[in-house]
Amino acid sequence: MLDAVTPPVVMGVLNVTPDSFSDGGRFADTDAAVAHGRRLVAEGADVLDVGGESTRPGATRPLVSEELDRVVPVIEALAADGATVSVDTMRAEVAQAAVAAGAVVVNDVSGGLADPAILEVVAASQATYVAMHWRAHSDRMRDHAVYDEPGGVVAAVRRELAERVEAARAAGIPAGRLVLDPGLGFAKTAEHNWRLVGAIDHPDGVAGLGLPLLVGASRKSFLGALLAGPDGVPRPVLEREAAGHALTLLLAQRGVWGVRVHDVRGTRDVLRVWARASESTLGA
């Protein structure tokens, strides 16, 4: 008999920025952001990932005060509702304020490289820490999409994430509060992203580090490039959802811990169908 399937955690993206690649700043206002967060919970989000800094390629960084003003009121309101809230930040000061406001996950796309003090902040809390593979800030990351070592991008991402795990553990974060993210789209070409997806459950890849994996592929440019029309123009951002759902299903089948998505309702539909269909094959 097959083991029962376990759908991944659905992390809903809540960008509180004026320059997000995916929503164009639709939720930059606190009230709009809180309302959208509540919609995502109603649609089935397990976690809300609140971010006040755009990490799209070429983006410039906000001031710390701007990032704090964007995320803290939203986190306070959603946590007061009883939502499970994550803060998407690379800054120790923001992580500390977010945890104080009710966040229980710190999703650091730099894995502690942008601000090493963030590891100590998380260690002193009870928050879960997501360490993503990262090489440089958004305005320079394209220059770092080179993986010439044996094993290519899969080996490099595993090695560099292993280093981030060591740093997190040395700072006092226990393994039980660590999650890894291969960082699709960050200092990676489309081909690099597809190689990482293909090896997501391979023991020689990131899965071999033995920690839960979070994958954020939703609406990213490598999906748009795959779906380009005859003229070579990538599929627009808001027209990539079906491709994202197909990838979510693949990731679920390969046992990832969580998926970070914009379309929570569609993702939840896909996972419900997969779980129900799998359940029907278990006992008969």
| Active-site position among 220, 235, 240, 268 | 220
Report the alpha-carbon distance of residue 184 to residue 78 in Å, rounded: 28
And the tokens for 69?
A: 């003003």
The yes-or-no answer on residue 188 being catalytic is: no
Report the alpha-carbon distance of residue 233 to residue 224 in Å, rounded: 8
The yes-or-no answer on residue 135 being catalytic is: no
Report the alpha-carbon distance of residue 36 to residue 230 in Å, rounded: 35
Cβ atoms of residues 112 and 180 within 8 Å: no
And the tokens for 266?
A: 């569609």
User: Which residue, chain included where needed, has tokens 């390629």?
Assistant: 57
**CA dihedral defined by 251, 104, 28, 35, rounded to 10 degrees?**
90
**CA dihedral defined by 190, 196, 199, 203, rounded to 10 degrees?**
160
Report the alpha-carbon distance of residue 124 to residue 118 in Å, rounded: 10
Residue 206, phi-psi category: left (phi > 0), alpha (psi -120 to 50), beta (remainder) = alpha
| Active-site position among 91, 188, 219, 260 | 260
| Residues with catalytic roles | 220, 260
